[in-house]
A and B are shown apart, each in its own frame.
Chain A
């Protein structure tokens, strides 16, 4: 259990997907103008990461691995299968949420299709492969990574809401400022590298 908490802390703070690997930057910059929408997208990312990560783990090990069903190394099919899983899971999640929780659907609705092309989702699955996590570790990594991404986008959205009232040079307004802020947040998050996850 301690090992799982360790991975959660590490993926949420120390190796933050958005701030230290720059994953999901496109939607991170596009949807961080207000806190409300940022929270919606952040929740959807946690949700989809937590679902797709274990599924992709199963596919990678049981279907594509050398000891899987076909007994051959099929890892060159990894990209295609991963992205197909992500696209179809997002579609499925969208349909289920729409049917059973229309209020959640209304708040997440427009963000769900965006998530298919959010690099944080595919990047999470690829990192899981390169770090050779086992099943429960990949679940912890999925939730932790999603949580870290959520934190990053909500924080930048809050800062961007406030910075609207500042006198920023015109050419730096909007996008340029968002980049600078992300860089500063990245530096702040580097301070968390000193955390020893084993202490938890």
Chain B
């Protein structure tokens, strides 16, 4: 966050309380996944490993910021009746850029993420922020809003991915930590302290993502009771 503040100052734009709120609100009080319930679609399937989750998070941050800035800078020229299509085309173009970049520089991740890169287009976070924020605000604030929401999404993604990868496979970012073979950092079959440890294979399967997010939501709402669903 400190980096952002420096960059903004160079452009001669203020970074005060209001701007900070734009950045920090989506991290907790207004988190896109746990509170706004946006962008779950493309998120859960990529959380089996932290590396994929990180790539996905960076891609979404990128698309969020630039879609917000572009839409915000042409917001006065977009006719209201076709705004959805205009927004979708902007997002689709940015996602195509992301796809081609990944294909060129991170082919391994590109193959593993497969269709889920394309699904950033219909990631409701991007679309939702365009509708709710960028259509009514200046490009600078929109960029901050995009950054904040992208990071808020990325954090949840990384938490879920950490739980699933560590407890499911005993790895973090592909580095072998806990396991029963000698190439793991802590060999559970020999070490007497960790001998009881068994990886939980359920974590690798898809329903576990749902459970992990449900627990995150539960904890988040127990911590901040004002978010509790009244209905």
Contacts and interface: CB of A to CB of B under 8 A. Distances in A.
Interface of A: 19-26, 29-30, 33, 76-80, 82-84, 87-88, 113, 116-123, 126-127, 130, 169-177, 179-180, 182-184, 186-187, 190
Interface in B4-60: 34, 37-45
Nearest to A177: B214
B44 to A, nearest CB: 4
B128 to A, nearest CB: 9
A183 B217 contact: no
Given A79-B121, A84-B89, A22 B209 contact: yes
Given A26-B38, A29-B37, A122 B213 contact: no
A81 B147 CA distance: 27
A28 to B, nearest CB: 8
Interface stretch (B136-144, B162-170, B183-191, B220-228): B220-228
B37 A80 contact: no
Interface in B113-152: 114-115, 118-119, 121-124, 127
B30 to A, nearest CB: 14
Interface in B204-223: 205-211, 213-214, 217-219, 221-222
Contacts of A21: 45, 206
A83 B88 contact: yes
Contacts of A176: 214, 217-218, 221
Contacts of A26: 37-41, 124
Contacts of A19: 206
A78 B96 CA distance: 8
Contacts of B231: 33, 174
- Determine chain B's interface SS by DSSP, over half rule: helix
Contacts of A84: 85, 88-89, 92
Contacts of B221: 170-172, 176
B115 A179 contact: no
10 contacts: A83-B122, A120-B41, A122-B119, A126-B115, A130-B114, A170-B221, A172-B217, A173-B228, A174-B229, A176-B218
B181 interface: no
A190 B205 contact: yes
Contacts of A30: 37
A137 B43 CA distance: 28
A127 B115 contact: yes
